[in-house]
Amino acid sequence: MSVHGPLPAAVIFDMDGVLVDSNPFHLRKWVDLLHEHRIPFNPDDLPQQILGQRNDTAFRFFFGTQLSEAEIQRLSEELEERFRKVFRPHAAPLPGLAALLAECHSVGIPMAVASSAMTKNVEFIVDVLGFRPYFRCLVTGDEVTHPKPHPEIYFKTAAKLGVMPAACVTFEDSFVGVEAAKGAGMKCIAIASTFSAEELRERTGADLIVPNFAGLSPGMLRELFLPRRSSASHSRGKSP
């Protein structure tokens, strides 16, 4: 394959809702946990309250700010062990992802994962998919002080890759994730797997909104850096 012109310095992927369609399983684990502890919640608000968030943020929101770090760690380990056991048989990459990873690798674009999830979950997903060889580094929620929507995780990932943030393309699925990527000055493609394309268009500054990775190529990522006819983010394909 021949790709002409400057390519992104790096491509960085969120994990849940991007590498895999795991968020329905994350929602289920939280629903079960909140029911077990008799904590009231609004099912309509729950996706925005937990998806893309680091566990400690969600625990403090639902259980109160008095939770100790030890309690948060214990609850998080229990919650995520349950998730890994239930999700393993269902782990599959989003459509088109494997092809895009292979193409980016073939033209020498370094790639990484930047996820708010705990390290055990990130390594579990990357390994069960067989994608570890594609990624130069995995940066997780355990490694940052400020969770998304703060851009710290993206600045840290760019530093590990040795590239300028403004030369990177990111893939995100959540409102806080897109905000973090754009806050780091990166180009961001929003995957409409968790929230609809319409919601992402209205509530984020994503540079492109797509239903999945099908049809994407390194050349299309390069085009994100070309002058745009409109400053508004646009979408490709149908809203799920």
Instruction: Determine the average pLDDT of the residues in 201-224.
Output: 96
Residue 236 burial (C-beta neighbours within 10 Å; 0-12, 13-18, 19+) = middle
CA 105, distance to chain mean position in Å, is 19
CB 91 within 8 A of CB 112: no
Q: Which residue type sits at 84?
A: R
What distances in angstroms separate CA 6 from CA 79, 97, 155, 187, 188, one per listed residue? 43, 22, 21, 14, 17
114 beta partners: 139
What distances in angstroms separate CA 163 from CA 169, 194, 207, one per listed residue? 11, 29, 20
Q: pTM for this one?
A: 0.84
Instruction: Determine the average pLDDT of the residues in 3-12.
Output: 82
Instruction: Determine the average pLDDT of the residues in 39-61.
Output: 89
Tens-place pLDDT, residues 107-125: 999 999 999 999 999 999 9
Say how far apart CA 19 and CA 115 lie, in whole Å.
Answer: 10
Q: If you ran DSSP here, which 8-state letter would residue 7 be given?
A: P
Full set of structural domains in the chain with CATH:
10-22+92-235 (3.40.50.1000), 23-89 (1.10.150)
Among residues 16, 56, 173, 207, the one annotated as catalytic is 16
Task: Establish whether 14 is a catalytic residue.
Answer: yes
Among residues 14, 21, 56, 207, the one annotated as catalytic is 14
Task: Establish whether 44 is a catalytic residue.
Answer: no
